[in-house]
Structure 1
Amino acid sequence: MDCHTPISYNAYQVQVAAAEVYAITQRAAISSLNTCTFDRFPGETLFLGRIGGDYVGNPATYTYHYVMINSAGQFLAGLSRYEVDGGMDYAICKFGPNTRFISYTDSRRLNTNGDEPYYGSRH
């Protein structure tokens, strides 16, 4: 997953981050997560959890990366939040060859090291 910075995330890193966010929702600690909506998935409340560390660009602008999951624990997209003109803006991360995601439909499945699909909701 490429989040518009030199930092990218492979499928395993996305899988771990999505599982951590899902675990928080299962512990009823949802209030500690940011929520959002996304037009590609209408009617769903989505949960955001951080992935990786902060990225500081040049000049010193901060960028934060998130995974976006639904209430079933399915990974839907990555999100990049970054400073621009004194405020914050957002961009959806792109799927790269390291994640093996070809489409948003495919992103709902996370692949394990083998060929068996990994569904966040089964975690």
Structure 2
Amino acid sequence: MVLMIVLAGGLMGAGAQEAHFAGVPAKDHARANPLAGKPEAVSAGAALYKDHCAECHQADAQGDGKKKPSLRTPAVRSATDGDLEWFLRQGDLRHGMPSWSSLPQAHRWAIVAYLRSLQ
């Protein structure tokens, strides 16, 4: 899910996604994924994505073409890992994206690692 970022469930198109990531605090924007480059994190993230994100963003992360956006957009690709984790943690209920703050932080980072593997 990404959030997800991306991570972005419910935002309508790349422009909306870019605008949303513009609100990420600088300290979160600059955060690096401690699980980046770890194949086991990608595998764990894939399982977490299936359980928490695929229902809205589809198994292939392409979204539904309507209210549930693709997580393979330029906006998601250009977001930092910190942006994506922040978005997963915060959510955006107004646009249908729940907060995943109840997931352990390591799980959110694993989802970010998985989303990066799709790019």
Give the TM-score of the pair, scaled to structure 2: 0.30
Q: Looking at secondary structure, tell me which structure has more strand per residue.
A: 1
Task: Choose between structure 1 and 2 for higher RCO, CA contacts under 8 A separated by at least 6 residues.
Answer: 2
